[in-house]
Amino acid sequence: MTGQLGDAWRHCIGAGRFELALRRDYQDSLALLQREIGFRHIRQHGLFSAGAGVHRPYEYGGERRVLHSFTYVDQVVDMYLELGIRPFVELGFMPPGLASGDQTVFWWRGNVTPPSDRAEWAALVRGTVAHLVDRYGLDEVRGWPIEVWNEPDLKDFWQHADQDAYHDLYEVTAHAVKDVDAGLQVGGPALSPGADDGWLPRFAEFVAARGVPIDFVSRHAYTSGPAQHVPFGVHQTLAPAATLLEQFAAPGRQLAGTALEGLPVHITEFNSSYRPDNPVHDTAFHAAYLAPVVAAAGDLVDSFSYWTFCDVFEEAGVPAALFHGGFGLLTHRQIRKPTFHLYAFLARMGGEVLARADDHLVTRDGTGRVTVLAWAAGQGSDGHRVRLSVPVGSPAVTAYVARSSVSEEAGNAWAAWREMGSPRSPGARQLDALREASEPARRHWSAPVVDGRAELDLSLAVHEVTLVEVTAVRDETPPWWDDTRLLGGPA
């Protein structure tokens, strides 16, 4: 029930395809994210796709050669490090000049076929990793997990979802990474939630049998049902949020007894819906739905990476409206969604867990400040009440209590946008209004401290997620201060 909160929740966050990181909106959003939350790694598709321009075959002296070009890669990674975040490298998809077929995924056409030339692929991996080591230093790059491909168990992401072909890709890739330095971390197989239970054990058996290097295991987790399409969007049913925790726990269960038992497990993507055009992502419901997951999942895995940090994302084409159901914690132009605030609240919590429950989490930081994260998750609920006594832990007579909330009413720019008539491309004044509407509601009060404790009685509105910060007061009010004399009068 108690212990350390850990920071698996902030270990990684997802992002749109590689070259989208060159956009200003993406970078402004990432800067805001790092300032108000602070993630450690960032993961995205497309490092080897056409848009990043890495794999560059050419003719010279009458023969085919390949240049590895890092013009954009370096611009992006330089920027990441400036913003205090590091790559969680995903090796994929297949460069057009190295592809064995022409199957693509997404509007932006990532090629998902195996390499036409195993050696050229290995050279690409080695060349890329060696370049990163050369530019950023070995100590730095050893801290970046390197993951092989994405969801090879799905036909959309790996031609025929051919597990043997993936094993082969994994093997050549893992060796190529370790050729650069044995201390680099390589892993996979980045399974989709739909992978059958045997996939991972078969993978374990393969790498064990062949002595292939592996430093971590990865998979994804989503809870949505099939897409019900409307123009420019979908609706989907969602399984209970707790099924996310089950999915997080699955690799550990599946690998028990295999050679990979005990390896770090990274959930390299998770969300409710796996669609970038499901409006549920924009709602207060969503923050409340995920609150118990992010509050609890650190006990199960080494990381769980929200997919994605912002709506600069084009897998289903260019978004046709400001709010369009994108994955982002932030819309285009940095409007913060309720789920952004869920993470921002977590970022203000302490490391020591004082209490956990179905509807709240209590922590304390090194200064004695106590924080409570509470949520009213049930859809359609008409509110919720949480009563707590928290230690203030000092000779304080009062505590300063500050509460921030998002709900259907508060900190909910999507609701404001709906009231504005769903303007697809809001003007400057509307954007200002949306920014105001995206601010959590803030309250503060003075709470008496009795026997070193303060009492909290919190009413939560529908889909509210609230953060309460309790700080012992050191009273500097001078002895002559008298509220009743504000407008004059005798002492």
Beta carbons of 59 and 65 less than 8 angstroms apart: yes
Would you say 182 or 428 has its CB closer to its own copies?
A: 428
Would you say 231 or 257 has its CB closer to its own copies?
A: 231
Residue 319 touches its own copies, criterion: CB under 8 A? yes
Residue 366 touches its own copies, criterion: CB under 8 A? no
Least distance CB 219 / its own copies (angstroms) = 24
Instruction: Please identify which residue in 135, 155, 175, 356 interacts with its own copies, judged by CB under 8 A.
Output: 135
Instruction: Please identify which residue in 139, 196, 197, 318 interacts with its own copies, judged by CB under 8 A.
Output: 318
Chain positions 456 to 475 lying near its own copies, rule: CB under 8 A, are 469, 471, 473-475
Beta carbons of 218 and 187 less than 8 angstroms apart: yes
The residue from 19, 90, 151, 464 that is catalytic is 151
Residue 387 touches its own copies, criterion: CB under 8 A? no
Distances (CA, A) of 90 to 128, 149, 269, 330, 352: 12, 6, 12, 23, 33
Q: Is 269 a catalytic residue?
A: yes
Instruction: Please identify which residue in 7, 179, 352, 409 interacts with its own copies, judged by CB under 8 A.
Output: 409
Query: 341 — phi, psi (to 5°)?
Result: -65, -35
- CA 12, 13, 14, 18 torsion: positive or negative? negative
Chain positions 69 to 98 lying near its own copies, rule: CB under 8 A, are 69-75, 78-79
How many C-beta neighbours within 10 Å does residue 183 have?
12
Beta carbons of 135 and 74 less than 8 angstroms apart: yes
Angle at 78 between CA 41 and CA 114, to 5 degrees: 65
The residue from 19, 147, 171, 269 that is catalytic is 269
Beta carbons of 202 and 164 less than 8 angstroms apart: no
Angle at 122 between CA 120 and CA 123, to 5 degrees: 60
Contacting range for its own copies; rule: CB under 8 A; set: 162-170, 187-195, 198-206, 480-488? 480-488
Size of the site for its own copies (CB under 8 A): 90
Q: Is 151 a catalytic residue?
A: yes
Would you say 160 or 444 has its CB closer to its own copies?
A: 444
The DSSP bridge partners found for residue 373 are: 361, 467
Token pair for 471: 């700080």
Chain positions 230 to 259 lying near its own copies, rule: CB under 8 A, are 230-232, 235-238
Residue 491 touches its own copies, criterion: CB under 8 A? yes
Instruction: Please identify which residue in 118, 256, 443, 450 interacts with its own copies, judged by CB under 8 A.
Output: 443
Which amino acids are annotated catalytic? 151, 269
